Amino acid sequence: MKFGTKAIHSGVEPDSSTGAIMTPIYQTSTYVQRSPGDHQGYEYSRTHNPTRTALQNNLAALENGKHGICFSSGLGAIDAVIKLFNPGDEIISTSDLYGGTYRLFTKVYEKYGIKFHFVPMTNVDLVAEKINENTKMIWAETPTNPMMNIVDLRALSKLAKGNNLLLGVDNTFASPFLQNPLDLGADIVMHSVTKYLGGHSDVVMGALVVNEDELAQRLIFIQNACGAVPGPQDCFLVLRGIKTLHIRMERHSQNGKTIAAYLKNHPKVEKVYWPGFEDHPNHDIAKSQMRDFGGMISFSLKGNKLEDARKVMESFKLFSLAESLGGVESLCGHPATMTHASIPKEEREKVGLVDSLIRLSVGIEDAEDLKNDLAFALSRI
């Protein structure tokens, strides 16, 4: 099946008891057994739930994987991955990544003896330099949050496999529609399902997709043993959202292209970060591993004044100032004080995350209205 067909049909079947075309919300905590251990595949909803099963199977199909595993948030999913490792193990991560991931790595797991190295992964040689006998995994984002850097997943996969390392990829910004890391050699794909997969800013969830059976069983054990699972209502909402993922991503990408071009030519904009530009570093790699370039854009203002960034964001009418991304509505955010505030200022500025940087999640509204909204907000400085 092609992607749009998989999004609508994979993992879901009409309800066998009623013929309902939509997956039922199995709002139950437990399941009746005929005899101890003699059940219909379900015992307790932390372990398994039919609505969650349908979603997990659907997500696995979208990423061309075998096993989907859902969690109560994206960070819950990453937390499960780090629980695969032991004190003394080392993980190499990109230096430009989501602030919540950085906080989880440095404020939670470093005190338990897991060491993290943060390097610019656009240069794979810098990753190779950090590999030693304690290294167990490479953790990548591409495009990165919020600088929109592109990481060569094929090159990272070759490096990981040559050193017997796992390769994990946060694929949230791209979504399965634009990029499939498992096909490029990754071992684990992570999504903040909250974002493009849900698509309507009404649910918080995370997911992992893997191919290898033993790795899947280890992660499923952690999912059940630690209990960070989503409820059936949230799973239902994501299944609904996914049915229009391909259509939404096409529009996000179209609008993203229009808005990126507009900002690049604006006299008050210093720099625009969007991988669709031919002069974007690693544009050719983005072109080779992504189907399109998406609707995530970051830009900085001339003069780099925090007060200018505040004024612009306070002046928007359509771009709502809010955490998160990937919904049908356009959002703006200020990474330095919002999503990436947990990263020290000196570390942020090393990767170009300056105080005037604004991150846009371009929605699926009419592009001309979004351009007009930007024009008005930028005219206020």
Q: Which residues are catalytic?
A: 46, 98, 170, 195
What separation in angstroms does the CA of 266 have from each of 13, 221, 234? 50, 52, 40
Within 10 angstroms of residue 202's Cβ, the number of other Cβ atoms is: 13
Of 311, 306, 333, nearest in space to 322 by CA: 333
Q: Where are the alpha helices (DSSP H) in the chain?
A: 3-9, 50-62, 74-82, 99-103, 124-129, 153-162, 175-178, 213-226, 232-242, 245-264, 283-289, 306-315, 345-350, 367-378
Element (H, E) at 189: strand 188-192
Residue 144 has what DSSP assignment? -
What separation in angstroms does the CA of 54 have from each of 24, 258, 341? 10, 36, 36
Element (H, E) at 190: strand 188-192
What separation in angstroms does the CA of 44 have from each of 32, 34, 35, 47, 207? 10, 14, 15, 6, 20
* Phi, psi for 149 (deg, rounded to 5): -75, 150
